[in-house]
Amino acid sequence: MLYLPHTREDIASMLQVVGVDDLDDLFSTVPEDCRCKGDLNLPEPLTEWELNDHMAALSNSVAVSPEYKVFMGAGSYEHFIPASVSYLLGRSEFVTCYTPYQPEMSQGTLQAIYEYQTLAARLLGMEIATASHYDGATALAESLLMAIRVTRRRKVAVSRLIHPLYRRVVQTYFEPTGYEVVELGYLESGVTDLTGLDDVDDLAAVAVQSPNFFGCIENLRAIGEVAHDKKALFVASFTEALAYGLLKNPGSQGADIVAGEGQSLGIPSSFGGPALGMLASRKKFMRSLPGRLVGQTKDLDGKRGFVLTLATREQHIRREKATSNICTNNSLCALAAAMYMASVGEAGIRELARLNYDKAEYLKKELKNAGFTIRFDNPTFNEFVVEFPEGFKTTYERLLEKKIVAGLSLAPFYPELANHSLLCVTETRSKEDMDALVREVKS
């Protein structure tokens, strides 16, 4: 086997040093009745070449670009990724190292994550960002638990326009805690309705996503003011990080904690993961942050260097009183995001975000012209809700045959929005793709 370097002679001489006769004897401390009888029932090994064929066949059965035109976002967005980013990310010094516990041997990862923390904080308009979390949903759940720790209050208000799957993760995390999640409804215009907050006391956080699940841009400033009036923290969530290349960032609008998904920043969809949970906050909450943090320091010669820091918040030191149980996070995804942000730069990200906005507006206009209803008036970023006529399911199925995925049906998530779909357009969809979609849904 090519990953097992031991020759027969190696094994014999090593067993002799250990003082046993054969490999099974190494397991003398495992009681007889704990041992497996017989071999594992698994497929026999494939050669590298057989594996290539096997995996290629499975990969080919999945509907992806460029063969398929997928008009679906909803928390996972198709964006162009430069070859330089994929190539650099494959450098095995980054890929095959562990969490940087030994900083002298891990300065590459540490500086890169420090740079990620900085660029993430700048993108979100916050003072500090963590080294990464598993995904947007867990980052949100952890940020709400953090708000509870900071405020010592027991309830959080969560907009129904936060990604429905994120809300389910929040529910799962909250179930054993005894803390309460209050849901806020939405207005006809497609943004969060805050009237539900009127009678809520003991509020630790108000959490809203912008652009929200319907693609609508929320008035973050106004929501932040309401949250602060109630002495709660304002938690801003997001699923499309690219939006902040163009839109006012949550920090400038009064957010105390920002938590969301950074997959758009150079990370492939990969059927939903690995992803990039981004979590940023104001500096005063630094010691309540969950997860890893990298900080700048100096070495014995006074040279700049970087280390994992503020470990007294963490599980291996604080044990059950830790701010989180996180050990592994999604460091390599954070590195991808940093490389991507460095590649697009300030001017590039603004232009790219603007192109996403304009393309979605183009599709909106064409769908309107074709007689479909755009459900919400509020400005949107790169996705929006369309009302299709009764029986759209047949059209949707017909379009699949033509290798077009016409958005995501909202009925399973919002029963009141039967016949409504969430459509997404990024820079990867051309005018021809959009024209073809409109032509097909019309026919």
Partner 1 sequence: MKESVGTTGLILNEPLLWEKGKKGRCGFSLPRRDVESFPLDQELTAEGPDFPDLSEVDVVRHYTRLSQWNFGVDTGMYPLGSCTMKYSPKTNEKQASLSGFSGAHPLLPASLSQGALKIMFELEQYLAEITGMDAITLQPAAGAHGELTGMLVIYAFHKKKGAQRSKIIVPDTAHGTNPASAALCGYRPVPVRSNEQGILSVEAIAEVMDEDTAGIMVTNPNTLGLFEENSQAIADLVHAKGGLVYCDGANVNAVMGMVKMGNIGVDVMQLNLHKTFSTPHGGGGPGSGPVCVKKHLESFLPVPRVVEENGRYLLVENYPESVGKVSAFHGSVGVMLKAYSYIRSMGPKNLKRASQLAVLNANYIKERLKGTLHLPYDRPCMHECVFSDKHQATQKVATLDMAKRLMDYGFHPPTVYFPLVVHGAIMVEPTETESKEEIDQFIEAFKAIVNEAKEAPDLLHDAPKSCKVRRLDETTAARKPCLAG
Report the C-alpha gap between 160 and 194 in whole angstroms: 11
Binding status of residue 12 toward partner 1 by CB under 8 A: no
Binding status of residue 60 toward partner 1 by CB under 8 A: yes
The residue (of 115 and 240) whose beta carbon lies closer to partner 1 is 115
Mark the segment that binds partner 1 (CB under 8 A) among 148-156, 192-200, 352-360, 367-375: 352-360
How many Cβ atoms from other residues are within 10 Å of residue 43's Cβ?
6
The residue (of 202 and 358) whose beta carbon lies closer to partner 1 is 358
How many Cβ atoms from other residues are within 10 Å of residue 147's Cβ?
26
Report the C-alpha gap between 244 and 74 in whole angstroms: 17
Report the C-alpha gap between 377 and 356 in whole angstroms: 18
Binding status of residue 100 toward partner 1 by CB under 8 A: yes
Cα 22 from chain centre: 48
Binding status of residue 394 toward partner 1 by CB under 8 A: no
Peptide bond into 31 cis (omega under 30): no
Determine contact, residues 313/323, Cβ cutoff 8 Å: yes
Binding status of residue 91 toward partner 1 by CB under 8 A: yes
The residue (of 156 and 197) whose beta carbon lies closer to partner 1 is 156
- Residues of this chain, 185-214, that bind partner 1 according to CB under 8 A: none
Using CB under 8 A, which of 21, 53, 188, 358 touches partner 1?
358
Residues in binding contact with partner 1, number by CB under 8 A: 199
Using CB under 8 A, which of 8, 18, 371, 415 touches partner 1?
18
Tokens 């029932």: give the residue.
41
Binding status of residue 370 toward partner 1 by CB under 8 A: no
Residue 182 phi/psi, 5-degree rounding, is -105, 130
Binding status of residue 84 toward partner 1 by CB under 8 A: yes
Binding mask 409-428 for partner 1 (x = CB under 8 A): ------------------xx
Determine contact, residues 441/372, Cβ cutoff 8 Å: yes
Using CB under 8 A, which of 326, 367, 385, 410 touches partner 1?
326
Residue 226 phi/psi, 5-degree rounding, is -60, -45
Using CB under 8 A, which of 57, 201, 371, 443 touches partner 1?
57
Report the C-alpha gap between 246 and 233 in whole angstroms: 25
Using CB under 8 A, which of 181, 200, 405, 438 touches partner 1?
405
Helix (H, G, I), strand (E, B) or coil at 159: strand
The residue (of 359 and 375) whose beta carbon lies closer to partner 1 is 359
- Residues of this chain, 121-150, that bind partner 1 according to CB under 8 A: 121-123, 127-129, 131-132, 134-138
Mark the segment that binds partner 1 (CB under 8 A) among 190-198, 199-207, 345-353, 385-393: 345-353
Report the C-alpha gap between 71 and 358 in whole angstroms: 15
Six-digit token pair at 306? 């970087």
Report the C-alpha gap between 378 and 242 in whole angstroms: 19
- Residues of this chain, 229-258, that bind partner 1 according to CB under 8 A: 244-249, 252
- Label the pairing between strands 128-129 and 277-281: antiparallel
Please, is 85 exposed, middle or buried when counting C-beta atoms within 10 Å of its C-beta (0-12, 13-18, 19+)? buried
Report the C-alpha gap between 356 and 79 in whole angstroms: 10
Binding status of residue 152 toward partner 1 by CB under 8 A: no
The residue (of 178 and 391) whose beta carbon lies closer to partner 1 is 178
The residue (of 292 and 375) whose beta carbon lies closer to partner 1 is 292
Helix (H, G, I), strand (E, B) or coil at 5: coil
Binding mask 253-282 for partner 1 (x = CB under 8 A): --------x------xxxxxxxx-------
Using CB under 8 A, which of 408, 410, 423, 437 touches partner 1?
408
Binding status of residue 13 toward partner 1 by CB under 8 A: yes
Least Å distance between CB 231 and partner 1? 26
Mark the segment that binds partner 1 (CB under 8 A) among 67-75, 198-206, 229-237, 385-393: 67-75
Nearest-CA neighbor of 147 among 173, 168, 109? 173
Least Å distance between CB 55 and partner 1? 4
Determine contact, residues 225/245, Cβ cutoff 8 Å: no
Report the C-alpha gap between 378 and 385 in whole angstroms: 11
Least Å distance between CB 131 and partner 1? 7
The residue (of 120 and 197) whose beta carbon lies closer to partner 1 is 120
